[in-house]
Chains A and B, each alone.
Chain A
Amino acid sequence: MNEMEFEDKLRALANQMEYPRTPELAGSVTARLRTSTRPRFNSKALAWSLTIIVVLCSSLMLIPPARAAILEFIQIGVVRIFPKPTEPTIEPHITSTPAALVPITATSPSLSSNIIPVLNRMTGKTTLTYAQNKVDFPIVLPTYPSDLGQPDYVYVQDADGELVVLIWLDPQHSDQILLSLYIISNESWMVRKNQPPVIEETHVGKQRAIWTTGPYPVIISNGNIQYEQMVNGHGLIWADVDITYRLETGLSLEEAVKIAESLEPIP
């Protein structure tokens, strides 16, 4: 049987597949839509945080330049990228940061000289297996480059929303980071990138993606937790319905896209 005959056989057998009767979903779906009038919050903390954001945005709307700045951002999943404004804007207020919770950026020069002790102090250090059991979304790993292997460090951080951080060390310089991948559950964390020097639109597969290069501050917030980190490396951001991905690396855009397109769920 050649390949085409095999495919024809598969198709013929698949067409004979017996399925259970398809349930009538339209009524139940629309009934649920009509009853769900209130937005669902993950927690009181997130609800409180959103209240603050609404109040803050409402008051900023009174100031024309700030209003313009608020509306001019690019959003990919939970990441908002604010380009350099043409008019003066209000600087964001940064609250104090729980140091142990701060994930490490891929190429932070202040940390790259001695990164291992910092990685060991980070909250939520775990294994891939445990991480996959803990989070509801599939954890994906790059299959390109083929010799990349599994991440050297895995973290799951959960503050009213799950965030997985995978870190690969540079094999040539084992005290430095080659690549980091953030897998962020939508509806949880909010990531804000302020005025990256370079913002370039690209694609990962068919998904719209944004490529940014540092240095620029990144603000990551969730509920009453908010922290800021300085990113010197390059970042590729894309999203599907449930998950936002952020790949940080010192590699080129082309290499980053190849890595992003090679992601596969862990077996």
Chain B
Amino acid sequence: MDESTLIRHAANGDATAWEPLVLAHQQAVFRLSYLLLGDPDDAEDIAQETFLRAWKYLKSFDSTRPLRPWLLSIASNLASNRRRSAGRYFAALMRAFRDEPTSTTMEEKSSQKMQSNDLWKAVQTLNLPDQQIVYLRYFLDLSVAETAEVLQVAEGTVKSRMSRALEKLRNIIQQDFPVLIEGHEA
């Protein structure tokens, strides 16, 4: 059964049709939630809530459209709301900065993976809309059109916001994480 058919079945109350759709999209939904929240337990909560919310509103969803951007849109909204409550996000952010990896871990990790973590730290210093767009485009590898679908804006808006976000990110990297672009800058 293709996605569109599964969505129609699920919208009519068939929970067994919803299960393969959850399986197909759970990784992207969980990863976006994790990137936005920085905590795997919170990310799991949000991912689960995303699929429950989506199920609830499935009748209003156009089954001819791809499901993933809609799910990511819900996850992004829920994670953003979670970040605003109880300072959880900031606590996670502080942990991310405070917890230096042990020497053993450092040896195990490749330099590139440590750099990926540094990139994440750099992105976390951006404001929320900028973070969302960077995560969607570069971490989840969504196209401009898909990103526009998630953020519910025009593709041109994605491009202009992306450009501004990248400029800010580049400044942050140059100032705080220059190793990420070492060898490239004159």
Q: Which residues of A contact B (CB under 8 A)?
A: 1, 3, 5-7, 9-20, 22-26, 28-30, 32-34, 132, 136-138, 205-207, 240-242, 261, 264-265, 267
Say if the beta carbon of B168 comes within 8 Å of chain A. no
User: What residues of chain A lie closer than 8 Å to B129, measured between beta carbons?
Assistant: 264-265
Instruction: Tell me which of A1, A23, A205 contacts B153 (CB under 8 A).
Output: A205
Instruction: Tell me which of A12, A16, A22 contacts B27 (CB under 8 A).
Output: A22
Asked whether, in the complex, the Cβ of B26 is within 8 Å of the Cβ of A136, the reply is: no
14 A–B contacts, CB within 8 A, in A order: A10-B169, A12-B112, A14-B116, A14-B119, A15-B141, A19-B34, A20-B34, A25-B44, A25-B51, A33-B15, A33-B52, A205-B152, A240-B73, A264-B129
Stretch at the interface among B1-9, B76-84, B91-99: B76-84
Asked whether, in the complex, the Cβ of A241 is within 8 Å of the Cβ of B18, the reply is: no
Say if the beta carbon of B106 comes within 8 Å of chain A. no
Closest residue of chain A to B54 (Cβ to Cβ) is A241
Closest residue of chain A to B26 (Cβ to Cβ) is A25
Distance between B117 CB and nearest chain A CB, rounded to angstroms: 7
Q: In the bound complex, what is the Cα–Cα distance between A138 and B36 (angstroms)?
A: 15
List 16 additional contacts besides A14-B138, A16-B115, A206-B154; criterion CB under 8 Å: A1-B181, A5-B184, A7-B138, A9-B181, A12-B112, A14-B141, A22-B26, A23-B30, A26-B26, A29-B22, A29-B51, A30-B15, A132-B84, A138-B84, A205-B151, A261-B157
Closest residue of chain A to B25 (Cβ to Cβ) is A25
User: What residues of chain A lie closer than 8 Å to B73, measured between beta carbons?
Assistant: 240-241
Distance between A21 CB and nearest chain B CB, rounded to angstroms: 9
Asked whether, in the complex, the Cβ of A261 is within 8 Å of the Cβ of B153, the reply is: yes
Q: In the bound complex, what is the Cα–Cα distance between A132 and B166 (angstroms)?
A: 28
User: What residues of chain B lie closer than 8 Å to A22, measured between beta carbons?
Assistant: 26-27, 30-31
Instruction: Tell me which of A3, A13, A20 contacts B180 (CB under 8 A).
Output: A13
Instruction: Tell me which of A18, A33, A132, A240 contacts B152 (CB under 8 A).
Output: A240
A241/B31 contact (C-beta < 8 A), A6-B181, A18-B116, A265-B129 known? no
Closest residue of chain B to A25 (Cβ to Cβ) is B26
Closest residue of chain B to A28 (Cβ to Cβ) is B48
User: What residues of chain B lie closer than 8 Å to A132, measured between beta carbons?
Assistant: 84
Instruction: Tell me which of A19, A29, A34, A261 contacts B48 (CB under 8 A).
Output: A29
A18/B26 contact (C-beta < 8 A), A206-B148, A206-B149, A241-B57 known? no
Asked whether, in the complex, the Cβ of B113 is within 8 Å of the Cβ of A6, the reply is: no
Say if the beta carbon of B176 comes within 8 Å of chain A. no
Asked whether, in the complex, the Cβ of B127 is within 8 Å of the Cβ of A267, the reply is: yes
User: What residues of chain B lie closer than 8 Å to A26, measured between beta carbons?
Assistant: 19-20, 22-23, 26
Distance between A142 CB and nearest chain B CB, rounded to angstroms: 14
User: What residues of chain A lie closer than 8 Å to B68, measured between beta carbons?
Assistant: none
User: What residues of chain B lie closer than 8 Å to A20, measured between beta carbons?
Assistant: 34, 40, 43
User: What residues of chain A lie closer than 8 Å to B19, measured between beta carbons?
Assistant: 26, 29-30
Q: Nearest 7 A-B pairs (CB), nearest first?
A: A1-B184, A20-B40, A26-B22, A14-B138, A16-B116, A14-B139, A29-B51
Instruction: Tell me which of B26, B74, B80, B139 contacts A138 (CB under 8 A).
Output: B80
Asked whether, in the complex, the Cβ of A241 is within 8 Å of the Cβ of B77, the reply is: yes
User: What residues of chain A lie closer than 8 Å to B113, measured between beta carbons?
Assistant: 16-18
User: What residues of chain B lie closer than 8 Å to A13, measured between beta carbons?
Assistant: 112, 115-116, 119, 180
Asked whether, in the complex, the Cβ of A29 is within 8 Å of the Cβ of B30, the reply is: no
User: What residues of chain B lie closer than 8 Å to A137, measured between beta carbons?
Assistant: 77, 81
Q: In the bound complex, what is the Cα–Cα distance between A205 and B151 (angstroms)?
A: 9
Closest residue of chain B to A265 (Cβ to Cβ) is B128
User: What residues of chain A lie closer than 8 Å to B88, measured between beta carbons?
Assistant: none
